[in-house]
Amino acid sequence: MQTRLPRREVPGPKSRALLEISRQYEPPCMADQVPLVWDHGEGARVWDVDGNEYIDFTSGVLVTNLGHSHPRHVAAIQRQAARLMNCYSFPTPERVTLSQRLTELLPDNLDRIFLLTTGAEATEAAIRIAKRYTGKHEILSFYGGFHGRTYGPMSVAGSQGTKRQFGPQLPGAILAPFPYFYRDFYHSQSEEECGRRCLESLDRIVESTSTGDLGAVITEPYQGGAGFIFPPEGWLKQLEKWAYDRGLLFILDEVQSSFGRTGKMFALEWEGLRPSMLCLGKGIGSGMPASALAGEARIFACMRPGEMSSTCGGNPLASAASLAVLDVLAEERLAARALQTGTHMKARFQQLQQRHPTLGDVRGRGLVMGLEFVQDKQTRTPAPDLTLKLLLEAARRGLLLGRVGLYGNVVRIAPPLVISDADADAGIDIIDAALTELGA
């Protein structure tokens, strides 16, 4: 089925004017998106400054899990803005209540919450604390990993795109293959074999590259920036065991995967993970700058009072917004809804995969999926140019998409968790029609 909608001019005249101002006054280093200027949003819909309406399959890069301008979220922010917006590190009812509620949702070993503002700030804090607690400077991470753009996270990143031409990184990063079965480093015959080979390589990699000063492992439950790469079932639990058997801290970066996105409140629930530290962000504020580092009291005890703080971390406005997020997620059962809607969407994308010769791989869970496009399915040669054309053609038809991937050839499917079945299907119809239009 293909949905025929009126074409939009992308960018429209008002968007073009504002984009020209942006080019004149803003640096070109920010994310490269479809050329239009957002004006407002509601639920899973967005309007640009020219009045064009779009279905949103981006969630502002997996942030607006509640959808755009959820009434409960907006009301909580408005109430708090009239009371108190910042007090540096003085406790507030909102901050301490949020810390308590987050702790109650997490595995019982994670009994302390450090509230911050961005995902990179959370992973940066985890890296710093891990080095202080263990007294060791080396951290094992994975090819394709993305943990933020400050120097600590950038140094443990597994792709050149994050750190190209920024000079020497922080010492101590050790990289290992992540199980990316579609482009398997070991040419395995199954996902399970791919995962097993990646795990079996860890000791040899450490023995070959470590100075004997390894203190921690950091990984994402799935690799978002690399193209929504999900490891085989059970692999993360095996990695956790590998780390703990060797006396290492196990840091889980759930900045992108938490707060209902995969069909559970936290992705760690799928395998019963018990990380030493857990990085949270994006969906925790659903649009408000907020993040958190959860950890064990014994680990945080290595830091003295005042050694690590954040000017805006845990501020009353962000904390009130995050409390509203927890309320709405629970009351509207958005994690379960994400799993149900995502299961339906993935099945439909797999049908498209059978019909379109350039759609090489479909992967994901809940409302986070990656569509990997190739020039042909035999060679699996990445098709980044086609991916860009698809984003623009989809926007002209009323759907907003983003792209990621080590080769820029993966379309991000991550709508707000409140998306209706009708909008989910309409968006897939648009992708189908756009690929047909492009002869792909």
**DSSP secondary structure code for residue 9 in this structure:** -
**Has residue 37 been placed in a domain?**
yes
User: Comparing C-alpha atoms, which of 51, 63, 57 is closest to residue 34?
Assistant: 57
C-alpha–C-alpha distance, residues 167 and 1, integer Å: 50
Residue 120's domain is classified under what CATH number? 3.40.640.10
**Has residue 35 been placed in a domain?**
yes
From first to last of its 440 residues, the chain has per-residue pLDDT tens of 344 557 889 999 999 999 999 999 999 887 778 999 999 999 999 999 999 999 999 999 999 999 999 999 999 999 999 999 999 989 999 999 999 999 999 999 999 999 999 999 999 999 999 999 999 999 999 999 999 899 899 999 998 888 888 888 889 999 999 999 999 989 999 999 999 999 999 999 999 999 999 999 999 999 999 999 999 999 999 999 999 999 999 999 999 999 999 999 999 999 999 999 999 999 999 999 999 999 999 999 999 998 998 999 999 999 999 999 999 999 999 999 999 999 999 999 999 999 999 999 999 999 999 999 999 999 999 999 999 999 999 999 999 999 999 999 999 999 999 999 999 999 999 999 999 999 99
C-alpha–C-alpha distance, residues 41 and 68, integer Å: 5
Same domain membership, residue 94 and residue 56: no
Q: Which of 285, 309, 331 is the last residue of a domain?
A: 331
Same domain membership, residue 420 and residue 367: yes
Tracing tokens 């994975």 back to the chain, one arrives at: 142
Tokens of 183: 């482009």
Q: Which of 267, 297, 331 is the last residue of a domain?
A: 331
Same domain membership, residue 322 and residue 275: yes
Res 1: pLDDT? 38
Residue 361's domain is classified under what CATH number? 3.90.1150.10
Same domain membership, residue 278 and residue 154: yes
**Has residue 223 been placed in a domain?**
yes
Same domain membership, residue 40 and residue 184: no
Same domain membership, residue 173 and residue 27: no
Res 5: pLDDT? 57
Contact 222, 229 (CB under 8 A): yes
Same domain membership, residue 241 and residue 127: yes
Same domain membership, residue 320 and residue 418: no
Res 3: pLDDT? 46
Res 313: pLDDT? 94
Res 167: pLDDT? 87
Same domain membership, residue 90 and residue 156: yes
With a CB cutoff of 8 Å and minimum separation 6, the contacts of 136 are 213, 214, 215, 216
**Beta pairing, strands 214-219 & 138-142:** parallel
* 3-class secondary structure, 40: strand
Res 85: pLDDT? 96
**Has residue 2 been placed in a domain?**
no
Same domain membership, residue 235 and residue 174: yes
C-alpha–C-alpha distance, residues 356 and 364, integer Å: 19
Q: Which domain holds residue 21?
A: 13-62+333-437
Same domain membership, residue 364 and residue 303: no
Task: Quote the number of domains for the chain.
Answer: 2
